[in-house]
Amino acid sequence: MEKKRIYFDHAATTAVRPEVISAMLPIFEDVYGNPSSFYNEGYAANRYIEQSRQTVAELLNVSPKEIFFTSCGTESDNWAIKGTAFSKQKKGKHLITSTIEHHAVLHSMQALEKLGYEVTYLEVDGYGLVDPRQVEEAIRPDTILVSIMMANNEIGTIQPVAEIAEICRAKGVLFHTDAVQALGAIPVSPHDLGADLMAFSGHKFYAPKGVGIMYIKRGVRIANFMDGGAQENRRRAGTENTPYIVGITKALELALAAMPEESKRLIALRDDLIRQLQSTIPYTKLNGHPVKRLPNNINLAFEFIEGESILLLLNELGYQASSGSACTSGSLDPSHVLLAIGLTHEIAHGSLRLSLGKENTKEDTDKLANDLPGIIERLRLMSPLYADFKRGKIKNIIPEEGTDILKGALTYEV
C-alpha cells in the first residue's frame, strides 16, 4: 500500500516547509534564553523576535508596533473580538458578524452573548458573499465591532472587506477581519484594507501549527486577551515561543515571495479540476463563488451521497481531503457555511473540499479527476436516495449538468 499520497487539504493545515524547520532548529538548540532578560542568551532570543516582527511588518507594509505574535489564528480571533467587547462596553454591547465565519469567530461571539452582549449575524448570498450595505444597515449607535472574514475556509469566497472597512471607518466602528485563509494566498495589506484588527495563522502557509499573528492598527486600544507578563509590548503575555516566531516569519517570507506565480498556477489547476469534475460527474454543484475565490479552494457537492464516505474512499486511493459533513462531531448538522449559502442538509452532507498547495501538480489533479468519478458512482450505487431517484420516486436538486448556485432548493421527502 505504499502509493504516493496526494495531499489536498491545505486549507486545514500544511506541512512545515523544510526551510522553516531549518530556521527553527538552531533556535531550539541554542537560543533558549528568556527574551526578557539581562544576559547574552536572552538578548539573542529577543533580537530574533524583534527582527521577526520587523520582517513581518515589512512584508505586510505596516509598523512593527502593529504586529503581535500569538499562539494561533483562534487566539487572534478571540483577542480581537473579546478584547474589543471588554474594552468598549461603555460604548455598547452590540457586534456584527456573518453566518459563515470560522468557529473561532462564531464561538467567541456566542461566548459574549452569554455575557449579555448582542450579536447580529448577517446572512450571505448563494455564493457566500456578505453585502456591505447590510453591514451599514446593521450598524447601530451601540455597535462596537464588525467582524467579517477576508476569505472563507470552506468555500473559498473572498469578501468585499475593503468596502466593509470603509463603512466601519465612516461610522466609527472597529473592523476586524479573520484573514487566516487569505494570508499567503491573496494579497493582504492591512493599511490599504483599512482594517483595525486582523487575525493570521502560520500553519496555513507552511509554518507550524500553534503560532499566529495579530495585527492591531496603531492607536487602536483593545483589552488584552492573554493577561500576564509584559511580553509583546505588554499586550500579549506568555513566554515568547522564539522558534515558532522565527518559523512563521520565514514561512511568510517564502509564501509571499512565491505568491504571484503560485496563485496563478493554483487558479489554473483549480479551474481545470473543477471543469473536469463537473463535466464527468453529474449532479455536482460548485460551492462558493466561481471567481471571487481563493486560488486553492475547490468545494463541490455531489448529490445523493455523503461526504465522509467519499473521504474514506479517497484515503484508500491515497488522497487527503475534507468534507462539510459533520455527523462525526456529534452534531447532526453539516457545515454551517454550506447551510448558510442555501444548501439543504442532504446536499451539504455530500460535499467535498479539495484545497491545493505548493506540492500539488497537474498530474495530481488529473489523477484525481480520473479517480473521483468512480468513487462517486460507487457510493451512489449504494445510496437508497439515488435508487429512489433513478426509479423516479424523488427529484434531483442539483441539475444533471451541474451548477454553481442553487436557490430555494427543496428537501427530499423519503
Ligand X SMILES: Cc1ncc(COP(=O)(O)O)c(C=O)c1O
Residue 7: which of another protein, its own copies, ligand X, none does it interact with, CB under 5 to 8 A by kind?
its own copies
Closest CB to ligand X among residues 201, 309? 201
Site for ligand X in 347-406 (CB under 6 A): none
Residue with cell 472587506: 161
Question: What region, left, alpha or beta, does residue 351 occupy, with left being phi > 0 and alpha being psi -120 to 50 degrees?
Answer: beta
Closest CB to its own copies among residues 21, 138? 21
Neighbour count for residue 110 (Cβ, 10 Å): 12
Closest CB to its own copies among residues 65, 107? 107
Note whether 149 binds ligand X by CB under 6 A. Answer: yes
Handedness of CA 316, 321, 325, 328 (dihedral sign): positive
Note whether 130 binds ligand X by CB under 6 A. Answer: no
Number of residues that bind another protein (CB under 8 A): 59
Grid cell digits, residue 201: 495563522
Grid cell digits, residue 259: 505568491
Site for another protein in 204-243 (CB under 8 A): 228-231, 233-234, 237, 239
Closest CB to ligand X among residues 77, 346? 77
List alpha helices for 8-39, DSSP H: 18-30
Three-point CA angle 221, 222, 224, nearest 5°? 125
Note whether 298 binds its own copies by CB under 8 A. Answer: no
Asked if 47 contacts 189 with a C-beta cutoff of 8 angstroms, the reply is no
Note whether 243 binds its own copies by CB under 8 A. Answer: yes
Asked if 119 contacts 96 with a C-beta cutoff of 8 angstroms, the reply is yes
Note whether 115 binds its own copies by CB under 8 A. Answer: yes
Grid cell digits, residue 237: 503575555
Choices 30-38, 160-168, 266-274, 380-388; region in contact with its own copies by CB under 8 A: 30-38
Binder among 60, 72, 158, 311 for ligand X (CB under 6 A): 72
Site string for its own copies, 315-354 (x = CB under 8 A): x---xxxxx-----x-------------------------
Question: Cα(330)–Cα(7) distance, rounded to whole angstroms?
Answer: 26
Question: Cα(239)–Cα(149) distance, rounded to whole angstroms?
Answer: 29
Note whether 64 binds its own copies by CB under 8 A. Answer: no
Which amino acid is residue 28, in one-letter code? F
Choices 70-78, 269-277, 306-314, 341-349; region in contact with ligand X by CB under 6 A: 70-78
Is residue 286 classed as helix, strand or coil in its secondary structure?
A: strand
Closest CB to another protein among residues 73, 190? 73
Smallest separation (angstroms) from its own copies to the CB of 261: 23
Question: Cα(106)–Cα(101) distance, rounded to whole angstroms?
Answer: 6
Closest CB to another protein among residues 334, 357? 334
Note whether 77 binds its own copies by CB under 8 A. Answer: yes
What are the two backbone dihedrals, phi and then psi, of residue 306, each rounded to the nearest 5 degrees?
-115, 145
- Per the residue annotation, which of 44, 186, 327, 387 is the catalytic one? 327
Note whether 201 binds ligand X by CB under 6 A. Answer: yes
Residue 149: which of another protein, its own copies, ligand X, none does it interact with, CB under 5 to 8 A by kind?
ligand X
Note whether 121 binds its own copies by CB under 8 A. Answer: no
Asked if 361 contacts 391 with a C-beta cutoff of 8 angstroms, the reply is no
Binder among 51, 89, 224, 344 for another protein (CB under 8 A): 344
Binder among 4, 40, 261, 391 for its own copies (CB under 8 A): 40
Closest CB to its own copies among residues 9, 404? 9
72 catalytic, yes or no? no
Note whether 37 binds another protein by CB under 8 A. Answer: yes
Smallest separation (angstroms) from another protein to the CB of 411: 7
Question: What region, left, alpha or beta, does residue 60 occupy, with left being phi > 0 and alpha being psi -120 to 50 degrees?
Answer: alpha
Q: Are strands 94-98 and 143-147 parallel, antiparallel or unpaired?
A: parallel
Neighbour count for residue 331 (Cβ, 10 Å): 9
300 strand-pairing partners: 286, 352
Half-sphere exposure of 109 (CA within 13 A, CB side): 24
Closest CB to its own copies among residues 129, 248? 248
Task: State the greatest distance between any 2 C-alpha atoms of the chain, in Å, as a whole number.
Answer: 79
From first CA to last CA, the distance across the chain in angstroms is 40
Binder among 2, 4, 29, 260 for its own copies (CB under 8 A): 29
Provide the annotated active-site residues.
327
Binding site for another protein (CB under 8 A): 11-13, 34, 36-38, 43, 46-47, 65, 102-103, 153-154, 228-231, 233-234, 237, 239, 304-309, 312-313, 316, 322, 324-330, 332, 334-337, 344-346, 349, 381-387, 411-412, 414
